[in-house]
């Protein structure tokens, strides 16, 4: 009897949420839509503790489910680019069991995500795994590259998954690339700021409009530091809820606040010079060739 009542309540709650999501997305679509939302998904383990789960690592599974849900809201709204912090280089300092859980979760989910027709193909999303790919275990790195390759023909939306990432190392790599490109006569004609932007992992992503961090922490944890500093109109939101609890209500409130504050000077869509785009495309083609799977024509 109780099982039936709980199931009924769950069914009603899901129905109500679906109606609310549809209504909010329709309403928000009438206002200005951010081009780039960046998210620090924090609080997975505290959420697991709150639920009373014996193993706090289970919080990451709930975190992944929320990530897919929020990605879906963003795509339905037409947000061109979403960047999520899925693993910081600092996270390698966690227990080997937890690192292993996060790696296994990522490998399993990335493989599935890349072939999701309802999210990735329908909207035309190019998945980019950005950061220090060389630090990943070979199997995970291979899946990451495969996910990028499988979606590299999409150009409507960009999903940047920082895994594993810290800005310090991204800027080191970008500076090295910048110095190399400066030796090329054609590249050196390009304005320094534009050239440096072209060297970042987020080279063709628009400026960031909205930064969200959950779990009540007010830190940036080396997430997209250069991009945040150079995005002239980035609005930051630090939310008290844990990441798996981040609901359509919080998301809707953030979007409404953004829409009421946004000015004419909203974000830039980058138009990088063709020479930079060609060089980056070539780097990706070289990366795909290093992975252990068959490259098929599309």
Report if residue 110 touches ligand FPP, rule: CB under 6 A.
yes
Q: Using CB atoms, what's the residue nearest to Mg ion?
A: 42
Task: Determine if 164 is a binding residue for ligand FPP (CB under 6 A).
Answer: no
Which of residues 25, 35, 36, 43 is near ligand FPP by CB under 6 A? 43
Residues 293 and 146: beta-carbon distance below 8 Å: yes
Handedness of CA 180, 186, 192, 195 (dihedral sign): negative
Residue 86 found at the interface with ligand FPP (CB under 6 A): yes
For residues 181-220, which are near Mg ion according to CB under 5 A?
none
Site stretch for ligand FPP (CB under 6 A), options 28-36, 103-111, 148-156, 182-190: 103-111
Q: How far apart are CA 30 and CA 19, in angstroms?
A: 18
Question: Of the two residues 105 and 279, which places its CB atom closer to ligand FPP in the complex?
Answer: 105
- Only one of the segments 35-43, 134-142, 245-253, 273-281 lies at the binding site for ligand FPP (rule: CB under 6 A); that segment is 35-43
**C-alpha–C-alpha distance, residues 184 and 97, integer Å:** 46
**Secondary structure letter of residue 268 according to DSSP:** P
Where do the H-state alpha helices sit in the chain? 2-28, 44-51, 58-77, 96-114, 122-123, 138-151, 167-182, 185-188, 192-199, 225-229, 248-261, 274-290
Query: Measured at CB, which residue is nearest to ligand FPP?
Result: 63
Looking at 120, 147, 161, 211, which residue binds ligand FPP (CB under 6 A)?
161
230 touching ligand FPP, by CB under 6 A: no
- Of the pair 91, 152, the CB lying nearest ligand FPP is at 91
Burial-class residue 275 by CB neighbours within 10 Å (0-12, 13-18, 19+).
middle
Q: Which of 60, 128, 146, 197 binds ligand FPP (CB under 6 A)?
A: 60
């Amino acid at each position: 009897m109780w099982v039936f009542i709980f199931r009924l309540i769950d069914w009603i709650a899901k129905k109500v949420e679906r109606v609310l999501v549809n209504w909010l997305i329709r309403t928000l679509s009438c206002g200005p839509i951010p081009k780039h939302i960046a998210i620090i998904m924090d609080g997975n383990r505290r959420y697991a503790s709150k639920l009373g789960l014996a193993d706090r690592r289970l919080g990451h599974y709930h975190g992944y489910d929320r990530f897919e849900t929020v990605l879906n809201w963003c795509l339905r709204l037409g947000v061109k680019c979403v960047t999520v912090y899925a693993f910081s280089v600092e996270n390698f300092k966690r227990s080997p069991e937890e690192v292993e859980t996060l790696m296994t979760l990522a490998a399993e989910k990335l493989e599935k995500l890349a072939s999701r027709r309802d999210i990735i193909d329908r909207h035309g999303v190019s998945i980019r795994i950005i950061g220090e790919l060389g630090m990943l275990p070979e199997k995970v790195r291979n899946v990451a590259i495969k996910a990028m390759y499988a979606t590299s023909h999409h150009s409507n939306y960009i999903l940047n998954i920082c895994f594993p990432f810290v800005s310090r190392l991204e800027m080191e790599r970008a500076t090295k690339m910048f110095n190399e490109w400066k030796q090329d006569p054609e590249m050196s004609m390009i304005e320094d700021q534009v050239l440096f932007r072209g060297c970042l992992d987020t080279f063709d992503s628009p400026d960031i409009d909205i930064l969200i961090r959950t779990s009540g922490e007010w830190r940036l944890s080396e997430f997209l530091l250069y991009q945040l500093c150079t995005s002239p109109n980035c609005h930051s939101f630090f939310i008290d809820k844990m990441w798996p609890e981040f609901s359509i209500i919080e998301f809707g409130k953030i979007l409404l606040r953004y829409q009421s504050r946004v000015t004419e000077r909203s974000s830039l869509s980058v138009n990088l010079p063709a020479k930079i785009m060609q060089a980056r495309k070539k780097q990706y083609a070289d990366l795909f060739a290093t992975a252990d799977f068959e490259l098929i024509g599309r």
